[in-house]
Amino acid sequence: MVELVIVAIVGALFFDFYNGLNDAANSVATVIGSRALRPLQAVTLAAIANFAGPFVFGVAVAKTVGKGIVDLNVLTIYVIIAGLVGAIIWIAFASHYGIPISASHTLIGGIIGSGVAAGGIQALIFDGLSKVLTFMVISPLAGLVIAFAITILLLHTLKKYRPSVINKIFGRLQIVSSTFFSLTHGANDGQKTMGVIAAALLAGGIIESFYVPYYVIILAASAIAVGTFVGGYKVIKTMGLRLTALKPYQGFCAETGGGVILTMMAQYGIPVSTTHAIAGSIMGVGATKRLSAVRWGVGRTMILAWIITIPASGAMGAAAYKIMELAGII
């Protein structure tokens, strides 16, 4: 059993690395798109802040993911491994093709799929699942509204200043907002793998009740930080350059809007998608210029990817569990 727990932990950390790889765009796309930082500078800063996030905001999200989606009586080590396999396959596919999917929903979808394959639909905890699905819709809309409002307020306040002065000031402030968003990203996405690892430790009898050990926080935070540093440059291009053209003050507004959403969700332990939050914020900022300033076609493609993520990774997680059954592993 210990060997299986190790396999689950390694798989979870591998997923966490891919999470950082794919979600690097969420933390740094706007600061790169506005030319406030070069890509290497941006991903280095984001990696450090991602690591620090869980230590700043706590692990409420990890607890929700680890024991609030699938019944712990069903969440065996085999269910966890199969769910991780499904999640890793989907996020690797998306990262390869530069699709800015939600790594959060990929992981949750994989666990849901393997959990249902093992214990049926009754294995799901619908209270926790309803929070995920509800805020899947709310977070991008809230990000859009908040970023739109912040941008309008700044435009009204700064209308007497020359563009060159504004760009200089917000070129510096955007570094602060990018760091803030990276901290909240680490506090949200960085915790989801911690919850899965803690569940694996419980299923394997390593710990007697569900909690997140300190060494798990360090391991998971390190994995997502390394993935962020390596960076998903195809996704960065989509998020930072294709969705809408950004100036420094606009990047500041988008990162601040997204960070506000993630801060609130981290405090309440609600696992939302950082991709949804920042994409909605970027669209909100772009819409202050004119609706046509946002490339809604790119946005529609991203939304389609979000919609199919939970079913796709869930199907892969279920398939992985059934293959393990047929092979006699379970």
- Tokens read off for 23: 């979600």
| Distance of alpha carbon 203 from alpha carbon 188, whole angstroms | 23
Specify whether the CB–CB gap between 90 and 309 falls below 8 A. Answer: yes
Residue 188 backbone dihedrals phi, psi, to 5 degrees:
-105, -70
Helix, strand, coil percentages for the chain (3-state, nearest 5): 80, 0, 20
Q: Which residues of the chain have pLDDT under 70?
A: 24-27, 29-30, 33-34, 95, 98-100, 231-246, 290-302, 305
Q: How many CB atoms lie within 10 A of CB 290?
A: 8
- Tokens read off for 269: 């332990």
How much is the pLDDT for 198?
95
Q: In terms of residues, how long is the chain?
A: 330
DSSP calls for 82-144: HHHHHHHHHHHHHHHTT----HHHHHHHHHHHHHHHHH-GGGB-HHHHHHHHHHHHHHHHHHH
- Grouping H, G, I as helix, E, B as strand and the rest as coil, residue 273 is coil
Which distant-in-sequence residues (6+ apart) come within 8 Å of 105 by Cβ?
A: 132, 136, 273, 306, 309, 310, 313
* CA distances (Å), origin 71, targets 112, 120, 178, 205, 263: 10, 11, 37, 16, 27
| Distance of alpha carbon 184 from alpha carbon 182, whole angstroms | 5
| Distance of alpha carbon 208 from alpha carbon 171, whole angstroms | 50
Nearest alpha-carbon partner for 312 in 113, 135, 125: 113
DSSP code, position 326: H
Q: What is the pLDDT of residues 7-23, one digit of tens each?
A: 999 999 988 888 787 77
- Grouping H, G, I as helix, E, B as strand and the rest as coil, residue 70 is strand
How much is the pLDDT for 30?
66
How much is the pLDDT for 311?
92
CB half-sphere exposure, 177, CA atoms < 13 A: 31
How much is the pLDDT for 240?
47
Q: Which amino acid is at 120?
A: G
- Tokens read off for 1: 């059993």
How much is the pLDDT for 33?
66
| Distance of alpha carbon 252 from alpha carbon 221, whole angstroms | 25
Helix 274-287 to helix 103-119 angle (10° resolution) is: 140
CA dihedral 54, 238, 303, 111 (to 10 degrees): -40
The pTM (predicted TM-score) of the whole model is 0.83
